[in-house]
Structure 1
Amino acid sequence: MDTAELRTALRNAGLSQYQSEAYVALLQLGAASATELADACAVPTARIYDVLRDLESKGYIETYEQDSLHARACDPKSVMQDLKSRAVQLDEAAGEIEARWQQPAVDSHMLSIVKRFETVFSRAEELVRNAKSEVQLSITPKQFEALRPALTEAYENGALVKLSLHPDQGDELPSIDEELFQGTATEVRRRTLPTPFVAIVDRTGACFAPHADSMNQYGVLVDDYTLTYVFYWYFQTALWEVWDVVYTAQTPEPPIVYSDIRHFVQDVEPLFQEGKEIITHVSGYETESREPIEVVGKLTDVYYTAVSEPKGTLSFSELAGQVCLTIETGDETHTVGGWGAVLEEVEANRLTIESIS
């Protein structure tokens, strides 16, 4: 750093132009009278005494009398400490500015609109890593690779991980290697069209961003049970139900695990109509108290209000109305509904077919 840059840095640290001129000159001289110092720098003689008093009050120099007013630079340790602390503060301020520019504080908003996809992706990764129940993702193969460590962690935590893979604009999906998803995903489906990025985690968090070639680029972060339900229906109807399964970790034999009551009914209703005895394990919440509850018993009734006349296997859209199960545990009978249940006694978070006989 040359002399001019040093003066500029000192001015940025709070010194005036004359103060920085005098201090740099005094560092070179070691000690000098006021008049000698004025001659050595660009400070007018009439101003040098005021400048020296100001520098002394800031701790940069000390003055003493020796026939006339003299000055010498103080030990620079205190000055260096002050400059370093300012540098740290400025660096922290720069980081905070960047963070606030990228996103608002998510924890204080039910719904946040952000500018950058990186912010959406980072939030989704955080949610996925901490997932305990279910993860639903609409992603490209590249995004899957970036999220693989977080998805593996969620899978190992016991979450059901559902992936809807889609290509980037202008690309085609590569061939599916099932080994990529082992220990990472519960089920993978393949969509042929470019699609928005969607992440839905544990029914309370959702992240959304339009695909890369969309005219408007923004992101939506949701931290709310009811709003997340809207994104869940979009995912199920547009990104999941109608697309082919390319990988599944589920087996056709019990125990068979479901996170959605409608998918459970699609598989169970034909068996129930045949008179099969289906032992079901429900994990969820009591709808009134919101206390956790576990129910294990015999499925004795399947009730749904189909929006159209069913033809063969029930479609997801045909089950868009109320869906209710009745489970007998021996001593008690429980009515069970799905996400957002109001009329039933239990809201199912997970349903497991334990046995079919």
Structure 2
Amino acid sequence: MDEATLADRLRQLGLSEKEIDTYLTILDHGEAKASTVADDAGVSKRYVYSVSEKLDDRGFVEVNDHVVPTTIRAHPPEEVVDKLTTELQALEPALTDRYGDVPEQHQEFEVIKTRTTVLKRIRELLERAEDEITLSVPATLLEEIEDELRETVDRGVLVILLVSGEESPEEERFDGVASVVRIWGENAPLIVTADRRQGLFAPNEMLVRTNSGKRGIAIAQEQLVPIIVGSFFGNYWPMATQAYVTDPTALPETYTGFRHAVLQSTLHLEAGTDVRVTAQARPVRTDDYATIEGLLVGVRQSLLAPTRDTFAVENALIVETDDGETVTLGGEGAFVEDFETRRVTLSSME
């Protein structure tokens, strides 16, 4: 099992990226001082103590605070696996008892008849999103979902927002509501997608007029939702005017949503930051992932004005690798770029 797959498995157990890095560093040492772990994992000593307490509670490590200096010892992996297995097996009776009460699974297609249901589905998509939301919404509806949008942004989700039917709201209006905002005076349809997995489409008339007779549709089919994303970026996003862009985030930062990595790469390049890219990627149309590392030398993107793309939905990182080769990294489903990427870490070289 390669390191990327190992990290994915640990993430499924509820560990964050930094917790995974810290735990793997402790494993590499077997036992080490907190300062050593902090240096090797690239985190603060205070953070190591905090994470180690959580890992201790879950049985991954033992914090030896009775000695000076305090050391952290990794439990043997077989003990950790046995403990986790026992905990999971203990869940089985309770889960079995409740199995008959499991709610109906999400339908692949749902016809939506009311504005109330549209709002409910939007809020559900915002709550479930892990990487990315694209949203085209009438200005009259924005206030009703603003709190949910702020919560989504606070979770670190990329929120790309198009507000239709409004000409010139103040930029401060969108601070914390979205990552990038464009406005368009025309009445665009409502479009929502979450993580390229679930989507929602509704005519504008359904939202601004009662008893319009119009219907919306919710889609939960991975093959179709990217088409909605393409329509959003190809047909509506270019027609709107940029109104707000978030600030560059502090680095290092890891992204599983590729568009988010492209956005932050663009912002850091514009700010003059020298950025190092570490990506888990594979040559397009192959199955073998490897680590690509190097200096970020450019982007191709359709998110920010001025765009730097050669087609409407293009988003790519241009990296000069440590071997001196220049390669292009694309996101999920990439076919134009050299590599398809599933995880990107951006680090400042300053």
1:196 corresponds to which residue? 189
Answer yes or no: is 1:235 the counterpart of 2:232.
Answer: yes
Question: Out of 157, 164, 169, which is 1:166 matched to?
Answer: 164
Unmatched tracts of structure 1, length 5 or more? 1-104, 305-312
Is the 2:234–2:312 Cα contact (8 Å) retained in structure 1? no
Task: Report if aligned partners of 1:189, 1:244 keep a CA contact under 8 Å in 2.
Answer: yes
- Structure 1 partner of 2:242: 245
> Counterparts of 2:291 and 2:114 in 1: how far apart (Å)?
41
Q: Residue 238 of structure 1: CA displacement?
A: 2.5
Determine helix, strand or coil for the equivalent of 2:161: strand
Shift of 1:125: 0.9
Cα offset for 1:314?
A: 5.8
Corresponding letter in the other structure for 1:176? E
CA gap of 1:342–1:251, structure 2 versus 1, over 3 A, is closer
SS of residue in 1 equivalent to 2:243: strand
Task: Give 1:183's aligned residue.
Answer: 176
The correspondence for 2:215, drawn from 192, 215, 218, is 218
| Partners of 1:264 and 1:351 within 8 A in 2 | no
Q: Is the 8 A contact 1:280 1:327 kept in 2?
A: no
1:166 CA drift (Å): 1.2
Alpha-carbon deviation of 1:225? 2.3
Looking at structure 2, the residues matched to 303 and 236 of structure 1 have their Cα atoms a distance apart, in angstroms, of 14
Q: Displacement, 1:122?
A: 1.2
Aligned-partner Cα distance in 1 for 2:114–2:282: 36
- Note closer, same or farther for the CA distance 1:341–1:124 as it changes in structure 2 (3 Å cut): same
SS of residue in 1 equivalent to 2:169 = coil
Unaligned runs of 5+ in 2: 1-103
Q: Relative to structure 1, is the Cα distance of residues 117 and 283 closer, same or farther in structure 2, using a 3 angstrom cutoff?
A: farther
Q: Deviations over 1:50-91 (max 9, x none)?
A: xxxxxxxxxxxxxxxxxxxxxxxxxxxxxxxxxxxxxxxxxx
TM-score, normalised on structure 1?
0.51
2:143 aligned residue (141, 145, 149) = 145
Contact 1:283–1:294, Cα closer than 8 Å, also in 2: yes
Closer, same or farther in 2 for the Cα pair 1:142/1:285, shift >3 Å?
Answer: farther
Question: Using a 3 Å threshold, how does the CA distance of structure 1 residues 123 and 325 change in structure 2: closer, same or farther?
Answer: same
- Once the two structures are TM-superposed, the CA of residue 128 in structure 1 deviates from its matched residue by 0.5
Which secondary structure state, in structure 2, belongs to the residue aligned with residue 225 of structure 1? coil
Q: Show the counterpart of 2:134.
A: 136
Q: Aligned AA for 2:222?
A: Y
| Separation in 2, partners of 1:175, 1:130 | 28
Match of 2:20 in 1: none
Aligned partner letter, 2:202: A
Matched residue, 1:108: 107
Distance in 1, matches of 2:290 and 2:163, equals 34
Q: Do structure 1's residue 122 and structure 2's residue 116 form an aligned pair?
A: no
Q: 1:241 to 1:129 in 2, by over 3 A?
A: same
Q: Does the 8 Å CA contact 1:260/1:350 hold for their aligned counterparts? A: no
Per the alignment, do residues 206 and 355 of structure 1 end up closer, same or farther by CA in structure 2, a change over 3 Å counting? same
**In terms of Rg, which structure is larger?**
1
The change in CA–CA distance for 1:244 and 1:344 in structure 2 (over 3 A counts) is closer
Structure 2 counterpart of 1:175, one-letter code: P
Could you say if the C-alpha distance between residues 334 and 246 of structure 1 is closer, same or farther in structure 2, counting changes exceeding 3 Å?
A: closer
Provide closer, same or farther for how the CA distance between residues 329 and 127 of structure 1 changes in structure 2, counting only shifts above 3 A: farther
Structure 1 position 347 matched with structure 2 position 340 = yes
Q: Which amino acid counterpart does residue 130 of structure 2 have in structure 1? A: K
Distance 1:239 1:303, change over 3 A: closer
Q: Counterparts of 2:250 and 2:163 in 1: how far apart (Å)?
A: 26
Alpha-carbon spacing, 1:317–1:346, altered in 2? closer, same or farther (3 Å): closer
Secondary structure of 1:260's match?
Answer: helix
CA distance in 2, matches of 1:139, 1:322: 23
Q: 1:206 aligns with which of 178, 199, 208?
A: 199
Retained in 2: the 8 A contact 1:261–1:351? no
Identity of aligned residues (%): 22
Partner residue of 2:42? none
The answer for the alignment partner of 1:280 in structure 2 is 277
Distance 1:189 1:107 in 2: 31
Length-normalised TM-score, structure 2: 0.52
Structure 1 Cα separation of the partners of residues 297 and 309 of structure 2: 22
Matched, 1:260 2:268: no
Q: Secondary structure at the match of 2:204?
A: coil
How far is the alpha carbon of 1:158 from its aligned partner?
Answer: 0.6
With over 3 angstroms needed to count, the CA separation of the structure-2 counterparts of 1:238 and 1:352, relative to structure 1, is farther
- 8 Å Cα contact 1:189/1:245 also seen in 2: yes
User: Does the 8 Å CA contact 1:237/1:317 hold for their aligned counterparts?
Assistant: no
Hey, what's the Cα distance between the residues in 2 that align with 1:155 and 1:294? 29
Change over 3 Å in CA distance of 1:219–1:283 after alignment to 2:
farther
2: distance between equivalents of 1:142 and 1:303? 33
Q: How many residues align?
A: 235
